[in-house]
Amino acid sequence: MRDTGKASLRQKLRRRRDALSNAHPQAGEDLANRFPLKLVDRFGPVVAVYSPIGSEIDTRGVIQKLSQYGAQLALPRIAGDDMTFHAWVEGTELIRGRFGLAEPHGDAPEVQPGLILAPLLGFDAEGTRLGYGKGYYDRALAKLRENGHAFICGLAFADQECLSLPKEPHDIPLDWVVTEAGSIPLFLARAKA
């Protein structure tokens, strides 16, 4: 396997995020308060969210805020190498899918979200996203963009920002990140570069 240095970075960034999660129990609530609903106005109404696992910043507050705003929520479902998004109404039943992730039940229809919220281990000022190493979001975004626009917004602790992360040709950059400290619009920086 090619060594781009991503594997050792993942370990380091996972430890960093574990520490951030312990140090900032309020961060998910702060993130929800700071989440800009203009992103839903512009790229919604179908918004892909995810249930937090491990030391990921708590997404329950932002999910509730989106739901109250009238966004049509979707959750990822993993089958083999593919991740698709399926309609989900907050508070309705979920099933346990691969990696212990909560997924919508079997007959939930597949949807094409215009705004995708994504977990991450690290991000940089160019929008490079380091995920868990399976490339699910890279592949899903590439596919969604065959059919139209899809805006990807990372959710993270502010200190998950890195100076520079390794980037491969298949990596789809983040357009925006929201943290407990506020918004970081990344697509603007790329447009100027």
* Residue 171 within binding range of Mg ion, rule CB under 5 A: yes
Smallest gap from residue 169 Cβ to Mg ion (A): 10
Any contact of residue 124 with Mg ion (CB under 5 A)? no
Nearest to 26 by CA among 65, 54, 57: 57
In the complex, residue closest to Mg ion by CB: 171
Interface pick for ligand ADP out of 19, 89, 142, 189 (rule CB under 6 A): 142
CA distance 148 to 94: 28
122-124 vs 72-79, strand pairing mode: unpaired
- Which option in ligand ADP, Mg ion, none does residue 134 bind, with CB closer than 5 to 8 A by kind? ligand ADP
Nearer to ligand ADP among residue 69 and residue 132 (C-beta): 132
d(C-alpha 182, C-alpha 158), whole Å: 8
Cα 151 to chain centroid, rounded: 11
| Residue from 14, 16, 132, 162 in contact with ligand ADP (CB under 6 A) | 132
Q: Which of 16, 1, 52 lies closest to 165 in space, CA to CA?
A: 16
In the complex with Mg ion, the residue whose CB is nearer, 103 or 171, is 171
Q: Does 171 bind ligand ADP (CB under 6 A)?
A: yes
Using CB under 6 A, which of the segments 31-39, 51-59, 131-139, 146-154 binds ligand ADP?
Answer: 131-139
Q: How many residues bind ligand ADP (CB under 6 A)?
A: 13
Give the sign of the dihedral formed by CA 68, CA 70, CA 72, CA 76. negative
User: Are residues 76 and 99 in contact, defined by beta-carbon separation less than 8 angstroms?
Assistant: no
Choosing from 138, 150, 152, 179, the residue that interacts with ligand ADP (CB under 6 A) is: 138
Return the exposure string of 84-115: e unless at least 16 CB atoms fall within 10 Å of the residue's CB, then b. Answer: bbbbbeeeeeeeeeeeebbbbeeebeebebbb
Stretch that binds Mg ion, among 62-70, 88-96, 144-152, 164-172 (CB under 5 A): 164-172
Provide the binding-site residues for ligand ADP, judged by CB under 6 A: 6, 130-135, 138-139, 142, 168, 170-171
